[in-house]
A and B are shown apart, each in its own frame.
Chain A
Amino acid sequence: MDFEATYFDGIRPVGQPVRLRLDREGQAWKEQEGATPPEKTVRVEMTDGQILHEDLAQWERFTHFDPGNHPPLEIVTRQGYPQRRLVFALLPPGSWLRETGLLGAGTLDGAGTSPRRLWNRLARLPAKPKALAGVTALLAAMTALVVFVVLPGLTPWIARVIPLEFEESLGRQAKQSFTEAFDFSEIQLSADQKSALGKVESRLSRYVGNGYTIHVVPVSGGMVNAITLPGGYILVFDEMWEKLETPDQLAALLGHELGHVAHRDGLQALIHSSALGGLGVALFGNNSALSGSVTAWGQSLLSLRYTRDQETRADDYGLKMMAGLGLNQQAAVDLMTMLIKESPGADALPEFLSSHPDTRQRIELLKQKIPSDAAPGSHFLNRREWRQLKKIPGAKSQRNGPGVGYMT
């Protein structure tokens, strides 16, 4: 079977008339719809009989095929560089090329792509897209491996080698970015309040050790929330102060947050989110995430959510601290119960979809861990100090923030 064609030799921009002749293998192949073309398929002859190619090693693409209009159809071989190109003159519609299914490959490189053609192509994947799909699946699997295994595994190691001074410096900057981003403000304290809070901070710093200086920062934001930033900064929002009923509930809250400090969860979350941002840039080729990170990375802490494991560990740490300081561990359960009351819808999501463990589940876990014969214990603060701290909430303001009824 012969076809008239035009041949560009890659040396001059002049087409030479050639004849395309199918050999026996090509004939056999063309009869199998959708089959992959064999290695030796065609032979190309000049009109004077000179043979240009015995075989075209691979068919790279067919372009410009439109059965209704049948303009020239091009075939580019992969032989050599620059590639050779054949242009079929006036290929009639309904010809063998159309029937082979090879035309599916013709749209591979984008020419003639449309949603319908894309669907057809996906439904009839020849070898090249299959390879592409395989590579894509491999890359996606590698990405998943990096995101879900490598990064979480590496993050604690990286956090461990970051000096404490550097973490504190990050924390200071994060606190500033955080408050500025949402227009929160630190609540001004009286001398007595500062003194009472100073005592709390000292106890916490002594307990956590490792050189940390704990800063408990009351913040006005109109929400029942507390957040731990890297470097020992614990932000407690005004409405949380208001809802706390006993000094031991405050201890339970701060004990939980101290767990995040001790485990360097804030730093880990920051490293993790930076690495994910970097990966996103690598994948999507957009530098905005990184350039943003230079100037306003601290704001990324707003979306900071610790993992369920981190939250559970922080709960355990808080309980241990309560026991270690001889406080009433039952206050942790009371605190959780209060949080449920404050945000009844917060646990609407199934547990596996939420970064936080279900609060009721946390309460159950806490109850299991509190010894039944635990002594009521002493109080975290004396009555005078507690009165001072309970006066802390300043002007209430209703602002949007990272959530309500949580301690993160």
Chain B
Amino acid sequence: MESNNPQTEPQTPPSLQNTPAPPPPPEEETWLTAGFTATGAMLFGLYLSNALLKIITLGMYAPWAKVRSLKLLAHNVKFEGDTLDFHGTGWEMMKGRMVLMGVALPLFIGLGFLGAAHPEWQAFFTLGIYILVGGLFPYLFLAAWRFRLSRTSWRQIHFGLKPEFNRFARRFYKDLVLTVATLGFYGPVLSIRMHRYLWNRIYFGDHQFTTDIPSWGYWKRAMGYIGLTYITGGLFYPFMEVNLIKYKLEYLRFQGHRIRFTGEGDKLLVISITNFLLVLSTLGLGYAWAKARWYRFFVANFQLTGACDITQVRQAEVTVQKAFGEEAADYFDIGL
């Protein structure tokens, strides 16, 4: 909530007593807030039990472990007193993984053998794999987002994504070529265009998110922040992260309503340093607690303007998506 800071009414000078009364001050904007309720102990228990179960089951538990993690995170993201839900199941993740492995394993093993038998072609095969993964990237990226959003709800209203795969892919390839050609300098534009494309197609129920964030405005800021991060030996990094989130949210709207991020770079810097010390001093055991603090900082600082009447949202058609994209994105380390 924004703090109310009423200003005292000045005494009206006698000479102006007959002039019309000034318009009443605008009502202070209220904000709907979020929070993260998981503790480090909860995350530690989750990581530990997941690791144990994966070992005991020779890794078979991995899809279920992933679902447990996503469910725990969702159940601990609270917005206006109610939490998110993640409805994905281990079985559907497992099915996605099996389909992926059915395609990827023979391909990679075959290429591995061919590359070994014909070392003169190995560079060609390696390049082929990079092209294949790069070519699939936009499809897997959107498919993974679509799956994860379709399985996430708040107050039983589901999120959704309506992607146009080919259009996104064409833009992505073009921007990727430019990024490579400019030795990475075009990278922030590629990143923000993906962000813009994605968020203009995300729904909560029948309400849509939109953003018209300018690519070059973002590029200028990102390059400046990256420069400052280098100059300060990395100390500016938390400020960069926070400022870029704020800039993105300046343009993001939920059915026309504003969203904002209230976190500050200095707080994130303190959290980052203390987290580092926490993990270091506990030889890694404190990772779960560090992660919980990190999540708390980011989640608790998102706010939606109170002008938005959430009760107007209606459930949109929920289509069942396959987990193939989710698993494939995970396999190729495509971050969501």
CB–CB B85/A76 < 8 A: yes
> What residues on B are CB-neighbors of A111 within 8 Å?
42, 71-72, 75-76
Nearest-neighbour CB distance to chain B for A292, whole angstroms, equals 9
Asked if B116 is at the interface of the complex by the 8 Å CB criterion, the answer is yes
Asked if A358 is at the interface of the complex by the 8 Å CB criterion, the answer is no
Q: Which of A11-33 contact B (CB under 8 A)?
A: 11-15
Expressed in whole angstroms, the Cα–Cα distance for A285 and B117 within the complex equals 26
CB–CB B108/A290 < 8 A: yes
CB–CB B155/A14 < 8 A: yes
Asked if A82 is at the interface of the complex by the 8 Å CB criterion, the answer is yes
CB–CB B327/A285 < 8 A: yes
Pick the contact of B58: A13, A63, A283 (CB < 8 A).
Answer: A283
In the complex, per-residue mask of B112-139: 1 if CB is within 8 Å of any chain A CB, else 0: 1101111100100110010000000000
Nearest-neighbour CB distance to chain A for B88, whole angstroms, equals 11
> What residues on B are CB-neighbors of A169 within 8 Å?
116-118
Q: Which of B126-175 contact A (CB under 8 A)?
A: 126, 129, 153-158
CB–CB B109/A117 < 8 A: no
CB–CB B154/A13 < 8 A: yes
CB–CB B122/A295 < 8 A: yes
Pick the contact of B42: A10, A113, A287 (CB < 8 A).
Answer: A113
Pick the contact of A13: B68, B83, B156 (CB < 8 A).
Answer: B156
Asked if A139 is at the interface of the complex by the 8 Å CB criterion, the answer is yes
Asked if B315 is at the interface of the complex by the 8 Å CB criterion, the answer is yes
Q: Which of B20-74 contact A (CB under 8 A)?
A: 41-42, 44-46, 48-49, 53-54, 56-62, 64, 67-69, 71-72
CB–CB B116/A297 < 8 A: yes
CB–CB A285/B60 < 8 A: no
Expressed in whole angstroms, the Cα–Cα distance for A278 and B110 within the complex equals 11
> What residues on B are CB-neighbors of A290 within 8 Å?
104-105, 108-109, 112
Asked if A35 is at the interface of the complex by the 8 Å CB criterion, the answer is no
Asked if B97 is at the interface of the complex by the 8 Å CB criterion, the answer is yes
Pick the contact of B314: A12, A76, A112, A117 (CB < 8 A).
Answer: A12
CB–CB B117/A10 < 8 A: no
Pick the contact of B156: A82, A166, A286 (CB < 8 A).
Answer: A82
Asked if B325 is at the interface of the complex by the 8 Å CB criterion, the answer is no
CB–CB A115/B49 < 8 A: yes
Interface residue tally for chain A (C-beta within 8 Å):
55
Pick the contact of A113: B72, B83, B116 (CB < 8 A).
Answer: B72
> What residues on A are CB-neighbors of B82 within 8 Å?
15, 87
Asked if A281 is at the interface of the complex by the 8 Å CB criterion, the answer is yes
Expressed in whole angstroms, the Cα–Cα distance for A14 and B157 within the complex equals 10
In the complex, per-residue mask of A290-307: 1 if CB is within 8 Å of any chain B CB, else 0: 110111011000000000
- Using known A-B contacts A173-B119, A298-B116, determine if residue A110 contacts B59 with beta carbons closer than 8 Å: no
> What residues on A are CB-neighbors of B330 within 8 Å?
285
CB–CB B97/A282 < 8 A: yes
Asked if A150 is at the interface of the complex by the 8 Å CB criterion, the answer is no
CB–CB B116/A291 < 8 A: no
CB–CB B318/A110 < 8 A: no
In this complex, what residue of B is CB-closest to A111? B75
CB–CB A10/B45 < 8 A: no
Asked if A351 is at the interface of the complex by the 8 Å CB criterion, the answer is no
Nearest-neighbour CB distance to chain A for B152, whole angstroms, equals 11
Asked if B310 is at the interface of the complex by the 8 Å CB criterion, the answer is yes
- Using known A-B contacts A8-B155, A294-B112, determine if residue A280 contacts B59 with beta carbons closer than 8 Å: yes
Nearest-neighbour CB distance to chain B for A116, whole angstroms, equals 8
Q: Which of A218-277 contact B (CB under 8 A)?
A: 274-275
CB–CB A294/B129 < 8 A: yes
Expressed in whole angstroms, the Cα–Cα distance for A143 and B58 within the complex equals 8
Asked if B185 is at the interface of the complex by the 8 Å CB criterion, the answer is no
Asked if A334 is at the interface of the complex by the 8 Å CB criterion, the answer is no
Asked if B238 is at the interface of the complex by the 8 Å CB criterion, the answer is no
Q: Which of B287-320 contact A (CB under 8 A)?
A: 310-311, 313-315, 318, 320
> What residues on A are CB-neighbors of B313 within 8 Å?
12-13
Expressed in whole angstroms, the Cα–Cα distance for A185 and B245 within the complex equals 55
CB–CB A82/B112 < 8 A: no
Asked if A136 is at the interface of the complex by the 8 Å CB criterion, the answer is yes
- Using known A-B contacts A14-B155, A82-B153, A295-B126, determine if residue A63 contacts B45 with beta carbons closer than 8 Å: no
Asked if B87 is at the interface of the complex by the 8 Å CB criterion, the answer is yes
Q: Which of A68-122 contact B (CB under 8 A)?
A: 76, 81-85, 87, 109-115, 117-118
Asked if A215 is at the interface of the complex by the 8 Å CB criterion, the answer is no
CB–CB A294/B45 < 8 A: no
CB–CB A284/B129 < 8 A: no
> What residues on A are CB-neighbors of B314 within 8 Å?
11-12
Nearest-neighbour CB distance to chain B for A300, whole angstroms, equals 10
Asked if A170 is at the interface of the complex by the 8 Å CB criterion, the answer is yes
Pick the contact of A278: B53, B109, B320, B332 (CB < 8 A).
Answer: B109
Nearest-neighbour CB distance to chain B for A288, whole angstroms, equals 9
User: Knowing that A82-B87, A293-B112 are A-B contacts, what are 9 other residue pairs whose CB atoms are under 8 Å apart, sorted by A's residue number?
Assistant: A10-B315, A13-B155, A113-B46, A118-B45, A140-B56, A143-B60, A169-B117, A278-B109, A280-B59
Q: Which 10 A-B pairs have the closest CB atoms?
A: A283-B59, A110-B72, A13-B155, A114-B45, A110-B68, A169-B117, A293-B112, A139-B60, A282-B101, A290-B108
What are 27 of the A-B contact pairs (CB < 8 Å)?
A9-B156, A63-B75, A63-B83, A82-B156, A82-B315, A83-B156, A109-B67, A111-B75, A113-B72, A114-B44, A115-B49, A118-B49, A136-B53, A136-B61, A139-B58, A143-B58, A166-B117, A278-B101, A278-B109, A280-B59, A283-B62, A285-B97, A285-B331, A287-B104, A291-B108, A294-B125, A297-B116
